[in-house]
Amino acid sequence: MHHNPRKRFGQNFLVDQQVISDIMNAIYPQNNDRIVEIGPGLGALTRPLLQVINHLTVVELDRDIVNKLDKEFPKEKLTIYSTDALKFDFSILGSKLRIIGNLPYNISTPLLFHLSQFSEQILDMHFMLQKEVVERMVGVPSTSDYGRLSIMLQYRFDMEYIFSVPAESFRPIPKVESAIVRMVPRPISSMNANDEVLLSQVVSAAFSQRRKTLRNTLYNYLKPDDFVSLNIDSSLRAEDLSVPKFVAITNYLASTSAADKATK
């Protein structure tokens, strides 16, 4: 399948057969798996997947690619949603979804947050992303990679850095390296923030000025006595707090707010 890459779609097509084989081994598809591929492109993964599984669903924005895929594969094997993955309601595809894709770098972060809304329907996800983004996703506390992206995704998913992919594996060759990440939704029972919107707000505020202490960045949320109650050192920086600690702050704020309202 020939196609001129479109810059506005952030298209870089995977052509390295060894990398394709390694990705297939990482996904380890089974014939009855309900796999959804985001951005199938020239079919580098689409073809080997359809040699194994009974049916594949793809989400593709580029209509030229949609037309080519439609001509190459029978409808009983391939269902195509010609739409923007950022706006797609993945819940209509059912449960136990296995989502894969070589995600365009320019939309990878918002797309990951969009997909997190459907974690209850997802079995696992395997993505190729900019290496720097994957390093941030799997980042651990007290490192430069650890930040808002790490916390908000690790709250919902267990993640694993699978392997790196050199830029030379693509056409056209991008200016950055890539990496494969595996994301497995965590049990709903472990996602115990009482207010997830508040969690996002607290994390954003904490990292708004990364080099400042929590005493300064969370001034509008926590006073000195609150840090004592939470057993958190206010002289720490946001990058020093684990995901459970941010959840604890959120639940503390949610409970104290509810108590304040009850007394008014």
Q: What DSSP line would sit under 179-225, residue for residue?
A: EEEEEEEPPGGG---S-HHHHHHHHHHHTTTTTSBHHHHTTTT--HH
82-88: average pLDDT: 96
Q: How far lies 60's CA from each of 66, 101, 157, in Å?
A: 7, 11, 25
pLDDT at residue 109 above 60? yes
Q: Are residues 122 and 27 in the same domain?
A: yes
pLDDT at residue 168 above 60? yes
Question: Angle 196-206/243-263 helices, nearest 10 degrees?
Answer: 120
Q: Are residues 119 and 249 in the same domain?
A: no
Tokens of 33: 């798996």
Percentage of residues of the chain with pLDDT beyond 90? 82
* CATH number of the domain where residue 233 is located: 1.10.8.100
Burial (Cβ within 10 Å: 0-12, 13-18, ≥19) of residue 211 = exposed
The confidence band for 119, taking pLDDT boundaries of 50, 70 and 90, is very high
**Residue 89 lies inside a defined structural domain of this protein:** yes
**Residue 219 lies inside a defined structural domain of this protein:** yes
pLDDT of res. 171: 80
pLDDT at residue 250 above 50? yes
**Residue 1 lies inside a defined structural domain of this protein:** no
The confidence band for 174, taking pLDDT boundaries of 50, 70 and 90, is confident
Domain that holds residue 229: 196-263
pLDDT of res. 11: 56
pLDDT at residue 84 above 50? yes
List strand residue ranges (DSSP E) for the chain, in order: 13-14, 34-38, 56-59, 78-81, 97-102, 122-130, 157-165, 170-171, 178-185
Residues 6+ apart with CB under 8 A from 90: 36, 97, 99, 115, 118, 121, 122
Q: Are residues 13 and 116 in the same domain?
A: yes
**Residue 86 lies inside a defined structural domain of this protein:** yes
Asked if 132 and 108 touch (Cβ cutoff 8 Å), the reply is no
Q: Are residues 69 and 134 in the same domain?
A: yes
Q: Are residues 140 and 245 in the same domain?
A: no
Nearest-angstrom CA–CA distance, 49 and 44: 9
Tokens of 214: 């929590």
Q: Are residues 178 and 203 in the same domain?
A: no
Nearest-angstrom CA–CA distance, 168 and 164: 12
pLDDT of res. 260: 60
pLDDT of res. 190: 86
Q: What is the pLDDT of residues 17-29, one digit of tens each?
A: 999 999 999 999 9
**Residue 38 lies inside a defined structural domain of this protein:** yes
pLDDT of res. 8: 42
Asked if 224 and 213 touch (Cβ cutoff 8 Å), the reply is no
Nearest-angstrom CA–CA distance, 25 and 257: 49
Q: Are residues 170 and 229 in the same domain?
A: no
Q: Are residues 94 and 218 in the same domain?
A: no
179-192: average pLDDT: 93
Last-in-domain residue among 188, 218, 252 = 188
**Residue 87 lies inside a defined structural domain of this protein:** yes
> Would strands 13-14 and 78-81 be described as parallel, antiparallel, or unpaired?
unpaired
Last-in-domain residue among 164, 188, 212 = 188
Q: Are residues 206 and 181 in the same domain?
A: no
What pTM does this model have?
0.91
Q: Are residues 202 and 179 in the same domain?
A: no
Q: Are residues 32 and 134 in the same domain?
A: yes
Last-in-domain residue among 166, 188, 210 = 188
Q: Are residues 171 and 200 in the same domain?
A: no
pLDDT of res. 7: 42
**Residue 135 lies inside a defined structural domain of this protein:** yes
Q: What are phi and psi of 99, to 5 degrees?
A: -105, 135
* CATH number of the domain where residue 147 is located: 3.40.50.150
Asked if 64 and 91 touch (Cβ cutoff 8 Å), the reply is no
pLDDT of res. 257: 72
Question: Rounded mean pLDDT of the chain?
Answer: 91
The confidence band for 72, taking pLDDT boundaries of 50, 70 and 90, is very high
pLDDT of res. 41: 85
**Residue 247 lies inside a defined structural domain of this protein:** yes
Q: What is the pLDDT of residues 197-223, one digit of tens each?
A: 999 999 999 999 999 999 999 999 999
Domain count of the chain?
2
pLDDT at residue 106 above 90? no
> Helix (H) and strand (E) counts for the chain?
10, 9
